[in-house]
Amino acid sequence: MKTSLSLIALAALLAACAGPEPKRPVASEAAAAAVPQAFPQAGGPGATAATELLWAQAFKGARLQKLIPLALANNRDLRVAVLNIESARATASARDADLWPTVNAGISGSRTPTAAGGINSVYQAGLQVSAYELDLFGRLRGLSAAAAAQVLAAQSNQQAVRTALVASVANAEIALQADEALLKITRDALATREQSLSLTRQRFEGGVSGELDLRSAESSWQAARAVLAQAQRQRALDENALALLIGGPLPADLPAPTGDLADFEPLAELPAGVPSEVLTRRPDIRQAEFQLGATDANIDAARAAFWPRITLTGSVGTASGHLSDLFKNSAWSFAPQLIQPLFDAGRNRANLAGARASRDIALAQYEKAIQTAFREVADSLAGRATLAEQRAALAAQVEAETRRLNAAEQRYTAGVSSALDRLDAQRSLFAAQQTLVQVQSQRAQNLVALYRALGGGG
């Protein structure tokens, strides 16, 4: 028992220290110079950061309150991201295990004939340390630090996928609500044109209107039918996309879409925060940071490969020529080995060059992640004001086109204007209504994009 304890104590003393925690790099000068110091549309000093605004507070619609939890529970992309964390953790645990010696326990026996015609019996039992590497130059610690950084990168990726998933569900819901609004507008337009066609046919049969008016009314009605079919198909496609995001069919108790995008209005006052929050809190930037840290650690490991590698092999236990006396005698062995690379045809130099190139690639990706973050925030902030103004102008245009159509209907009934004037007013109103719905959808999607660009909370 004493010999066993001594070997375990020796193994603990020889074990290298645990790998260092991966450091988060600071934005490089090239990246810092490529982004603004502040956004002109940013919120005030007392504004709440978007990362602190949970999705349940940002998206208050009854449908989204049911759909987003389903997506977070069942979406396959998010599930893969979670499993990638487990895979990275397993790899990190394996790299950490390399810092410690492997201790095996066993018992063996052998019998061989002797020159005198007898039998030589040897029985052994004990503990053995096989090929333990003393990490004097940090090769194993570098690999362990790189694996630990990859775990943190996988965790940040999972958070990025989660935020993107919430935004995707919100955008899919916006598209579905816009489809419902367009369907209502198209059905109303189709009913109006069907009435106009019936009236024009009666006037044609009575000799009041000509064939040109009749054929124009028929063309307008058929065009509305085609638009309705297209809108129905688009709605079905958007429902399928939403079902894919939530990982299953839409719930039976889900409220039907109303075509109203007012549920996204609270996001109109979403505070922008400050640029530093974008840099430090967005999960995709944190992922790029940790991946950069992993490449730094890989350089340390590749550089350490140029130095000697010292391995130890030892055992402690008992040995005897008789099985009954096995545990009466002690035996031990200790065999250190030093290997110094002399000629490897440039393998170590190539590995070091590859590690440095990977680090430069990770740095470029990190800088691009920072620049992309600022562009996404700047684009979303630019759209917040202009889309609101565009929506207001289109709403006024729809009101004007509605009055124009009423006037055209009255003039046509009184025989003052032709059917073409009324048909033109119908088409103009329909087009303005469609454009208004599209801009309302774009504004809602812009607010969702701003929430995501600012690293919206989970």
Chain segment 227-253, per-residue pLDDT in tens: 999 999 999 999 999 999 999 999 999
Give the Cα separation of 97 and 13 in Å (integer): 15
Residue 127 is predicted with a pLDDT of 72
Among 127-141, 151-165, 267-281, top mean pLDDT goes to 151-165
Q: What is the C-alpha to C-alpha distance for residues 255 and 64, in angstroms, rounded to an integer?
A: 10
Of 112 and 27, the one with more pLDDT = 112
How many CB atoms lie under 10 A from the CB of residue 331? 14
Nearest to 140 by CA among 166, 101, 179: 101
First and final CA of the chain: distance in angstroms? Answer: 54
Q: d(Cα 441, Cα 178) in Å, to the nearest integer?
A: 6
pLDDT (0 to 100) of residue 321: 56
83-115 tens-digit pLDDT? 999 999 999 998 888 888 877 777 777 777 777
Please say if the pLDDT value at position 11 is more than 50: no
Residue 196, pLDDT > 70, answer yes
| Residue 338 in tokens | 């030093």
Question: Contact, 272 vs 444, CB < 8 A?
Answer: no
Q: What is the DSSP string of 300-367?
A: HHHHHTTS-EEEEEEEEEEEESSGGGGGGSEEEEEEEEEE-----TTHHHHHHHHHHHHHHHHHHHHH
Q: What are residue 134's DSSP bridge partners?
A: 310
Inter-residue contact 195 to 188 (CB < 8 Å):
no
Classified as helix, coil or strand, 134 is: strand
- Report in angstroms the alpha-carbon separations of 56 from 52, 137, 456: 11, 50, 11
Q: How far apart are CA 440 and CA 390, in angstroms?
A: 9
pLDDT in tens, 342-392: 777 778 888 888 889 989 998 999 988 888 888 888 888 888 878 989 999
Which class in CATH covers the domain with range 34-99+135-306+360-453?
mainly alpha
CB 129 within 8 A of CB 102: yes
**443 versus 338: which is more confidently predicted?**
443
Q: Which of 260-269, 297-306, 373-382 shows the lowest mean pLDDT across its residues?
A: 260-269
For residues 321 and 309, the model is more confident at 309
In this prediction, residue 407 carries a pLDDT of 92
| Tokens of residue 31, six digits | 């990246």
Instruction: Say whether 113 sits in a helix, a strand or coil.
Output: strand
Distance CA 217, CA 211 (A): 10
pTM: 0.79
Bridge partners for 395 per DSSP: none
Which of 84 and 204 is assigned the larger pLDDT? 84
Contacts 24+ apart (CB under 8 A), 58-61: 58/266, 58/267, 58/270, 58/451, 58/456, 59/166, 59/170, 59/263, 59/264, 59/267, 60/263, 60/266, 61/173, 61/263, 61/264
Residue-wise pLDDT tens digits, 181-191: 999 999 999 99
What pLDDT is stored for residue 174 in this prediction?
Answer: 94
Helix (H, G, I), strand (E, B) or coil at 55: helix
Q: How far apart are CA 175 and CA 179, in angstroms?
A: 6
Query: Whole-number mean pLDDT of the chain?
Result: 80
Residue 18 has pLDDT above 60, yes or no: no
